[in-house]
Structure 1
């Protein structure tokens, strides 16, 4: 191997710095902003349905485990399943798009960028919610899972009722922040993507943080089984989680991530 090849290989193996990560995530966001509305919707719908696998896995674990102090910690191992399917499958998840869509906007602020960001969020969030509602309706109607797992899924979902609207909002901020962290570090750890997603989403689960899309899945299941009213579902559970995720991901983390390259030239290779 000659000297030039050795340098090229060393450069390829070198971890990206904050500036490189900023550019990689921002370019991914720019590609998402340019995607047709139909493509965003169908990808978001698939993500909403696929994220339901988290609740299925948690329900199956919960149903198969005995009552014990460690039961919730083991049940939480099912939580990352949906995120692994959605993120590795490159589907559109609302919380992941909070940072990818925001970086182009904060880098080159314009009315066009703002409009495209709001368009992206609106389409993906709407599609994610429809997907979770469809999946939850199938479980509530008995089309998915056996009765034991169905009851376990309802029991797992009922955990979100322990928080009021304000507490849900506060708990959603770190969840939004951590999912933004996943989007930020994946370009630097593609070979470890499985473990990165697993570790971070497991932390969200065991800490009891509120994720808007998984929470929406749980909320729809509780609505369809008569455990909560529609008003409580929208204003006490889903809306606070959505706003909290936005604050944590699009707000706090984006500002910190973008601040790392202030005074530098993120557009320069």
Structure 2
């Protein structure tokens, strides 16, 4: 029997003495980083984002808003080419992942990612300066994301980059968000915020599997009918331009509750839990 009074060896801190330095490096490279290491990686990434110039944030955020609309287009293209069947949603939802792959792997500034990356510097060092930096980042990135999605929605709605069939399919795909009221949208946006924030936490340990991490998590968001404020804003703008909702309905009824829910899920839940698990170790 093992003596329970003897602490288990720390295999990570005390590698086997008969291993060569090259073997130890290989083990280190293959091993997943601890929660403390991941926290520091994400915190440093967030600190770098907080220090970016306003112009860089605006351009990157605008590009992210434009790119995320690839999700709407991909869903529409799949929808119009598939027959009416119970399994069609399973295939159409794959299109939702396209925009997120472009944005995240392209290192573009997406608001919902900053709900965890940019919050960890504040959680680690809760100062007025860091709080101000966070609000500045959120304001610039969110505004730029919204302008980007509005531009693409206008291009789609006026049939500049699509034809009438593609427009009809895009509207059909987008109408799902009209089924929910303010509270329901907020509740559906909370798990979406949590899941998107989890991507930023997982990627440091993805080790070449970043693409599949993004696809898997965003596919779940689509299948669950969860609300993502940036991707959803493209749908809201498109419905507004098509006359199926008003400006107040798009902003107050669709975008605002999704924004609040994403912040609750990404910051209020994920960032707090992610920081809390290593708080006493850092």
Q: Does 1:27 align with 2:18?
A: no
Q: Kindly name which structure, 1 or 2, has the bigger radius of gyration based on alpha carbons.
A: 2
Please state how far the C-alpha of 1:72 moved relative to its aligned partner: 1.3
Q: 1:165 and 1:262 mapped to 2: Cα distance?
A: 35
Please state how far the C-alpha of 1:10 moved relative to its aligned partner: 1.2
Q: 1:119 and 1:65 mapped to 2: Cα distance?
A: 44
- Following TM superposition, the consecutive aligned residue runs of length 4 or more in structure 1 with deviations greater than 6 angstroms are none
Say which of 242, 265, 271 aligns to 1:254: 271
Q: Does 1:17 align with 2:28?
A: no
1:171-203 deviations in whole A, cap 9, x for unaligned?
000000000000110011040000000000000
Q: Could you say which residue in structure 2 is the equivalent of 1:123?
A: 140
Q: Could you say which residue in structure 1 is the equivalent of 2:214?
A: 197
Q: Could you say which residue in structure 1 is the equivalent of 2:196?
A: 179
The alignment partner of 2:118 has SS state of: helix
Q: Could you say which residue in structure 2 is the equivalent of 1:38?
A: 55
Q: Does 1:153 align with 2:177?
A: no
- Which consecutive unaligned segments of at least 5 residues does structure 2 have? 1-18
Say which of 95, 105, 111 aligns to 2:112: 95
Q: 1:36 and 1:24 mapped to 2: Cα distance?
A: 21
- Which consecutive unaligned segments of at least 5 residues does structure 1 have? none
Mapping of residues 208-247 of structure 1, within 5 Å? 208-247=225-264
The alignment partner of 2:173 has SS state of: helix
Farther off after superposition, 87-96 or 181-190: 181-190
Q: 2:171 and 2:142 mapped to 1: Cα distance?
A: 23
Q: Could you say which residue in structure 1 is the equivalent of 2:87?
A: 70
Q: 2:238 and 2:94 mapped to 1: Cα distance?
A: 20
Q: 2:101 and 2:251 mapped to 1: Cα distance?
A: 27
The alignment partner of 2:161 has SS state of: coil
Q: Does 1:162 align with 2:173?
A: no
Name the TM-score, length of structure 2 as normaliser.
0.92
1:232-258 deviations in whole A, cap 9, x for unaligned?
111110000000000000110011100
Please state how far the C-alpha of 1:70 moved relative to its aligned partner: 1.1
Say which of 52, 67, 72 aligns to 1:55: 72
